[in-house]
Amino acid sequence: MKTRINEVTIAEPCLQNWDEMDKGEGFNFCKACSKNVIDFSGYTNTEIISVLAGASSSVCGRLSKTQLNQLNYHLSIVPTTNRNWMRYLGVLAIGVSVFVVDARATGFKVPIEIAKSINNRINDTKPIVPKKIYGYVIGADHKPAVGIRLVIADTKFFSITDKNGRYEITLDDRFDVNNNKLMVESMRYGAVLTLDFSKEKQNNLKLKKAEPMIMGKIMIAPKKK
């Protein structure tokens, strides 16, 4: 009798304070249970399934209710067996792109294609990194958002917007352009911008009210056919 994997749950949400945990790159460390808790807010369905499939122990993570619902919706469309994870990953990769999380692979990154570099050199072995990137953050009222902290995911590069909603981040030659997600760090707001390293000025980042996040041990619930 085959066991179908068609539901991912956080049966017992964790009540620890995420913001009071020790910060890492892509995760926070929970002293209460001595485990890394991965911030899943920038992962796709494919990425989280890959992490769960490759984990050698239980996975703790943080994601929104919407992310969890979207993941389970796609699992319901393409139910999988324990022995068929990799085929499922291939199916998801065809057209699914939804924010979800990971709780183990702190170095999991999705390759990106650099369309062209600052000086129009194409297909270089090593993409050219601009000396800085900058842009503007605006609120739902279309006014500049002041004092918003932004961080490039999985790095220590960050900035805080000024009175005009402008941020600027200085990069170095060793910066990895695969780290291309600019994220808002705020209890009130949430937003993610995919950075374009072919130019310094980035598209405007519009804030939206942050969804309540769920945190805890991510479980795979099987059902027998």
- pTM greater than 0.85: no
Q: Where are the domains of the chain?
A: 3-110+212-224, 132-209
| DSSP calls for 43-84 | B-HHHHHHHHHH-SS-EEEEEEHHHHHHHHHHHHHS-EETT-
Residues in the chain: 225
Residue 73: the pLDDT is 74
* Cβ pair 33, 216 in contact under 8 A: no
**pLDDT 10s digit of each residue in the chain, 225 long?**
444 556 788 888 888 888 889 988 788 999 988 889 988 877 777 788 788 777 878 889 988 887 888 777 767 665 555 445 444 444 443 333 333 333 333 344 444 443 343 444 445 556 677 899 999 999 988 999 999 999 998 888 999 999 999 999 999 988 999 899 998 887 678 788 999 999 999 999 999 877 778 888 887 766 545
How many other CB atoms are there within 10 angstroms of residue 75's CB atom?
Answer: 21
Please give the CATH topology (third level) of the domain spanning 132-209.
Answer: Immunoglobulin-like (2.60.40)
Residue 187: the pLDDT is 66
